[in-house]
Amino acid sequence: MVEEELKKGNQFEGKEEYIKDVFTEIAEYYDEMNEIMSMGMVQGWHKFMMKKAGDIHGKRCLDVGTGTGEIAFHVARTAGAGSEVIGVDITPRMLELAAIKEAELDLPVKIDWRVGDALALDIEDNSVNLVTSGYMLRNVTDILQAVSEMHRVLAPGGKVIVAELSKPKNPIVRFGYNIYMKRVKRMGRKYDKGKSIDGRQSAYEWLTTSIEGFPYGEDMVKVFRKAGFDDARFYVKSFGAVNIYVGTK
């Protein structure tokens, strides 16, 4: 069953290089476009993630696929002084921008930005108290491997909190959502100029179509359970545009 789910999603030859090219291409305007695409709701989703994290004060935290660092900043503020916050991403340019933004913030802890792959984290087993990740799973070549790595690095009792796009189930909401996604694609074109990346679709074409066939809701919960998060569950946000998955090791 889970195997079938994992065959879904947008997997193709050369995906890893393509993904790095996509995020290098859009890094400069990623934050602005994120605000527009989420209609300003993204900060609310991240606050909800922090609420689910419980008491992480002074703990070791990891944000995987950290991008320009927005979730890592929330984690740093919540975990506070004496904590350790690591942000890992496969695209160096996204991390450079995260570090530039961090320099302008007054965070209680300095974030450790690391170039790395979610499928093979360079982090010891059982060493992290909280793993967060936002909107990365659609971009990896092996969803189960990415979630299994999150499980491996977590200490017993540690939590995983992952936000990903999903599709609204209610047909009326879904109708509005489909229209909105077409609009987002058009808006994205203003930024990426519809330019093909390495012979493939343009960056915002990918970001909007990558949801097609991608497992979400109960199907994704099965992946988290298979990775070892026996108590995995999900929360629906913004009428089903986003799901937040939570599990404990």
Burial of 242 (0-12, 13-18, 19+ CB in 10 A): buried
Query: What is the size of the binding site for ligand SAM (CB under 6 A)?
Result: 21
Query: In degrees rounded to 5, what are phi and psi of residue 233?
Result: -150, 170
Residue nearest to ligand SAM (CB): 67
With binding defined as CB under 6 A, does residue 23 bind ligand SAM?
yes
Interface stretch with ligand SAM, choices 112-120, 175-183, 211-219, 235-243 (CB under 6 A) = 112-120
With binding defined as CB under 6 A, does residue 90 bind ligand SAM?
yes
With binding defined as CB under 6 A, does residue 136 bind ligand SAM?
yes
d(CA 211, CA 118): 19
Tell me the two tokens of residue 32.
Answer: 């602005």
Question: CA–CA distance from 52 to each of 104, 161, 208 (Å)?
Answer: 27, 8, 27
User: What residues contact residue 172 under an 8 Å CB cut-off, 6+ apart?
Assistant: none
Q: Using the rule CB under 6 A, which residue among 5, 25, 89, 164 binds ligand SAM?
A: 89
Q: Using the rule CB under 6 A, which residue among 118, 128, 161, 227 binds ligand SAM?
A: 118
Q: Write out the binding residues for ligand SAM, residues 24-53 only, by CB under 6 A.
A: 34
With binding defined as CB under 6 A, does residue 9 bind ligand SAM?
no
Asked if residue 167 lies in contact with residue 174, where contact means CB atoms within 8 angstroms, the answer is yes
With binding defined as CB under 6 A, does residue 66 bind ligand SAM?
yes
d(CA 9, CA 137): 10
* Nearer Cβ to ligand SAM (56/150): 150
Q: Which residues contact ligand SAM by CB under 6 A?
A: 19, 23, 34, 65-67, 70-71, 88-91, 94, 117-119, 134-136, 139-140
